[in-house]
Structure 1
Amino acid sequence: MGRISFSCLFPASWHFSLPSQILPRLLLPSFRQLLFIGLLLFLLGALYLFLVTGKLPGSWITKENNFHRHIARVTDMDRTDASNPDLNYGLVVDCGSSGSRVYVYCWPSHNGNPHELLDIRQMRDQNRKSVIMKIKPGISKLAQTPEKASDYIYPLLSFAAEHIPKNKHIETPLYILCTAGMRILPESQQEAILEDLRTDIPVHFNFLFSDSHVEVISGKQEDGEAVVEVNVPGSDQQERLVRKRTAGVLDMGGVSTQIAFEVPKTVSFASPEQEEVAKNLLAEFNLGCDAHRTDHVYRVYVSTFLGFGGNAARQKYEQSLVKSTTTRNKLFGQRIGETADSPLLDPCLPTDLQDQIGTHEQKLHVLGTGDFDQCRHVLQPFLNRTNETQTSLSGIFQPAIDYSNSQFYGFSEFYYCTEDVLRMGGDYNASKYAQAAKSYCATQWKTLRECFDSGLYASHADLHRLQYQCFKSAWMYEVLHSGFSFPPDYKNLKTAFLVYDKEVQWTLGAILFRTRFLPLRDIQQESLKGVHSHWRHSFSVVNNLYLLLVCFFIVVLSIILYVLRLRRIHRRSAQRCSPSSVPWLEDGLGSPTLPINL
């Protein structure tokens, strides 16, 4: 057996040795001690990772991580990834006067910022086309057969259901909103149509749909979107609110015409009566999800003019012609318009276009003369303007517009009149538009028809558009400049069908307004996560360094304590190795009573 000298621990005159097998037990740690140190280091490292990242080893890839990695990114032009479970959907059916359309919208989960709105976009199919379907005629045509309303709208909802994942149907809100075509019906007929929809739709479709989701909306609820920046004065805050200014909207359909724009808090009135009327035309609403926040509070003037749409105006104009001509014929014994040989001359039709107007009992033959300026003149009485200040069509109150600091978009007939035939859609120039319209009206109908038959207008206009383009272009011009009082040199009007490659319809504003409270749950969840994330985030680089130093100090201290413990173990072993207790030490030292001084 080998021996090891301990002369370094005893006086030089004393020499003794220990067997070599004893040394590992005295100097090397035991297996339990090594396990203790390893576990200590592992727990310290795990504690550090948890405090800094909020995740324990083995759980670094969590559901939350997967959510942020696969969170839905909705863009304007990309096809919608319907397989993404994080997308939400919504449907709006626009039941207009001439037809109905269904719009399918989608949006990712709210980001938790109460200052931001839902990022709602139109859904796009595999070909990147907006998911929209249109049917004709308008739902108001069912006034006498309201029990067919659900059958009428069934193709639209079936089309939408095919594009939305089935598991999302139950949480997809459906809104059926009827506009001017329904507003002109008696209330009893309106309610009969709506009741049929409320009863039958839940039987066939599993969308999130309640009685309040189908209604005839007022003109106030059709709105536009923000595009340019402005200082909005008159807010309740001490400082002026600076945000993106909303663009004004002009919209002319078949039955009604609308104007909407944001106005300051301070609006002057010409009389108390005008102020009373204005209360019904000024709407203040909050698009934000929290009623206490004012980031998305807007004060908007909205006015709808029934009977001032392009088709309704033409109908009133023809009725007026029939009535006045019939009366004149009776008074003076004339037969103007009774035959094609003695037609009534109509300046609002293209040159030499022959047409018939009126009912079967009172039908008149008309012949177009294509005089744009005269057409404008004869249409002015149909605007029902008054001499009162701050009024527009039919003498309705209209706040002053800051034409030098505003921007407007013209939709529907404003776009069709400028683009379908004249090809002038986009930036509106009154003088160029009037000149183009004058030239069109003066063109022989035979020439226009030849251009149409050759396919020149195939993708933009039909034969009905060509026949009444002269009238509608004059009507649009008068409504804009004489009715709404836009100056002829106004440069900030754009007629459009798409804005930033998106079809802008009032339905987008409708679903934005009706889903404004949906982000509340996401914000509350984000706030709870924010408490933890803020706590974790507070561990900045400096704090992380401090924590690392503390962990290092604990490890070093543990090692020192272990070394001291090892020395105590060594001392006890040396004492047990004294001559009085170890026989082989007696042989080596020669005196059993000699003490060993450490």
Structure 2
Amino acid sequence: MSAQREMKEKNPWQSPVTIIITVIGVIAIVTLVTVAVLQNKPLPQKYKYGIVLDAGSSHTALYIYQWPAEKDNDTGRAEQMHSCKVKGLGISSYASTPWKAGDSLSACMREAMEHVPVKRHQETPLYLGATAGMRLLNIENRSASDKVFQAVAEALQKFPFSYQGARLLSGQEEGAFGWVTVNYLDDRLKQGLETTGALDLGGASTQISFVSDNYDGSESPSNSVTFRLYGNDYNLYTNSFLCYGKDQVLKMTLAYQTQSGPETVLDPCFHPGYNETKNYTALYDSPCVSNRKPQNAPESFDHKGTGNFLECQKAVKRVFNFTDCKYSRCSFNGVFQPVLQGPFGAFSAYYFVMNFLNLTDTSIHLETVKQKLADYCATPWQQIKQQHPKVKVKYLAEYCFSGTYIVTLLTEGYNFTSETYSNIKFIKKIKGSDAGWTLGYMLNLTNMIPAEAPDSPLLPHAGYVSIVTIIAILLFLLFILSLRPLWPCRSKQPQII
């Protein structure tokens, strides 16, 4: 018994110093692991917000974007969280009553207050960008344009956001920011992939933007925009055609048909049986056609449809000039355009018109598209109204014309062929966000797309925690092994004789 007691007393593991060291070591390792996990665990997602108002020619739309607040320099992925279509026409329609332009935005701005958390209101930037409708008003009546912008600014400053101003976008900006939006949402910029061209069609203008390997900007510098995004350089070709939005082209097409001031117009771009009385003054109220108004024209004319696609296309082609070109190659109206390259996304009115006509599937051969349009245009007006009772008559009556114009613009104007037409994808949204210039505009103004690629962490969170845990365990084992000299030595039991 005395020998066992002596061995127990000499056991170093039972000495107070050894016990204290062991406990401290275990506590240190547990603390190391706990701190690593707590310090690096993903935080509850917090967001920042931005608001952009798209003041187009036919209407205004509000978009709210959000992105992770914990990202350095606001480089987190921005995505659309809410949109609101302003009731009524575009702000340019309020030229004679500018205060109504500001009032028209109130309902959507109140929606924005509900969707953006109150604690983020003061820091949320608010932008308004006006496009072709206001560009036309600015040409026609600069004073009226300024008053509309003033009324809009006064209305927006009443809301608790960080108002950053209302401005008139150039056509080139509208096209370029649309290109940024499409490629940003599709993750093509960050990954350095082949980019997608952007085709935008509104009521008063249309834009085409794409990157071409054969275009360095020297032949037509005014069509060149250079971006450096995520460490990659992009030399972008872009052009905007004012007056070539679908609403203004309709006016121009009708203007050609009413040059002699007739009392009746037989229009192949409207369905057989369509018959409406229209006012000459209203037709020629736009700067796109105001200088063509015929002398001694009657007050109104009867607008009758005949529904003939081929004749409609001939009428539409009259608004294009395909003969004048001082460059190596042109689209139309003497505007330079390099060879088309890559896939294209067609959005805004492109999508809405072709979606209504069930023609968004570009795997359908181009000749088939034209035949379907011909069949649609030839359908009697009464039958069309019966098939679409919920669509406003004004919009319903114009789909034959709009579809014909889109196909003509893409093939005759931009030079898409039967082979390259399939490169076009008609899109409304990309990953939940509307395709359009607004997101690209906000990303540019908030510098959310860095010129250089942002640094990424060496390891993901899970990998980091795993490595720290393994190292901690190894340290613990090494600590135990370091105490080996203190381990008790096994001695031979004395033999009892």
The alignment's TM-score, normalised by the length of structure 1, stands at: 0.66
Matched, 1:223 2:178: yes
| CA 345–534 in structure 1, closer or farther in 2 if over 3 Å, else same | closer
The answer as to 2:329 corresponding to 1:390 is: yes
Q: Is the 8 A contact 1:198 1:210 kept in 2?
A: no
- State the SS of the aligned residue for 2:222: coil
- Pick from 415, 424, 429: which aligns with 2:359? 424
SS at match of 1:210: strand
C-alpha separation in 1, matches of 2:49 and 2:225: 28
Counterpart among 11, 21, 24 of residue 43 in structure 1? 24
Aligned partners of 2:253 and 2:318 also within 8 Å: no
The structure 1 residue matched to 2:130, chosen from 178, 192, 197, is 178
Letter in 1 for 2:301: L
d(CA) in 1 for partners of 2:242, 2:203: 10
The separation in 2 between residues aligned to 1:350 and 1:190, in whole angstroms, is 37
Q: TM-score, normalised by structure 2?
A: 0.78
**Larger RCO (CA within 8 A; separation ≥ 6):** 2
Matches within 5 A, 1:238-317: 243-264=192-213, 266-267=214-215, 275=219, 278-288=220-230, 293-294=231-232, 297-317=233-253
**Displacement after TM superposition at 1:306 (Å):** 0.8
Kept after mapping to 2: 8 A contact 1:175/1:209:
yes
Contact 1:248 1:409 in 2 (8 A): yes
Aligned to 1:142: 94
* 1:68-83 pair list within 5 angstroms: 68=42, 71-72=44-45
SS at match of 1:395: coil
Indicate how the Cα distance of structure 1 residues 366 and 548 shifts in structure 2: closer, same or farther if over 3 A, else same.
Answer: closer
> Contact 1:118/1:512 (CA < 8 Å) preserved in 2?
no
- For 1:551, the equivalent position in structure 2 comes to 479
The answer to whether the aligner puts 1:363 opposite 2:287 as a matched pair is: no
Write the letter of the residue equivalent to 2:271.
P
Deviation at 1:448, TM superposition (A): 2.8
| 1:246-299 per-position Cα deviation (integer Å, ceiling 9, x unaligned) | 2222222111111122223x5268xx7xx2xx22222122344xxxx33xx433
**Cα distance, 1:313 vs structure 2:** 0.8
Partner of residue 87, structure 1: 47
Give the superposition deviation at 1:183.
1.4
Q: Is the 8 A contact 2:224 2:235 kept in 1?
A: yes
Cα separation, 1, equivalents of 2:450 and 2:159: 25
Alignment partner, residue 505 of structure 1: 436
Code of the residue aligned with 2:109 in structure 1: it is: L
- Structure 1 residue 308, shift from structure 2 partner: 0.5
Deviations 1:375-427 (A, max 9, x none): 2112212112235342113221111113xxx222222332233232x322332
For the pair shown, the structure with the greater C-alpha radius of gyration is 1
Q: Deviation at 1:309? A: 0.9
Tell me the SS of whatever aligns to 1:425.
coil
Which structure 2 residues correspond to residues 432-581 of structure 1 after superposition, within 5 A? Answer: 432-449=368-385, 451=386, 456-458=387-389, 461-489=391-419, 490-499=421-430, 502-517=433-448, 541=470, 547-557=475-485, 559=486
Number of equivalent positions: 458
- The sequence identity of aligned pairs, in percent, is 25
AA paired with 2:170? S
More off after superposition, 138-147 vs 169-178: 138-147
Q: Pick the aligned partner of 1:96 from 56, 65, 90.
A: 56
Q: Alpha carbon RMSD of aligned pairs, Å? A: 4.0
SS in structure 2 at match of 1:280: helix
Structure 1 residues 384 and 362: CA distance shift in structure 2, 3 A: farther
1:229/1:245 contact within 8 Å kept? no
| Cα distance change, pair 555–111 in 1 and its aligned pair in 2 (3 A) | farther
Q: What's the counterpart of residue 116 of structure 2?
A: 164
Deviation, 1:228, is 8.1
User: 1:136 Cα shift?
Assistant: 1.8
Q: Deviations over 1:341-369 (max 9, x none)?
A: xx332222222322334426542223322
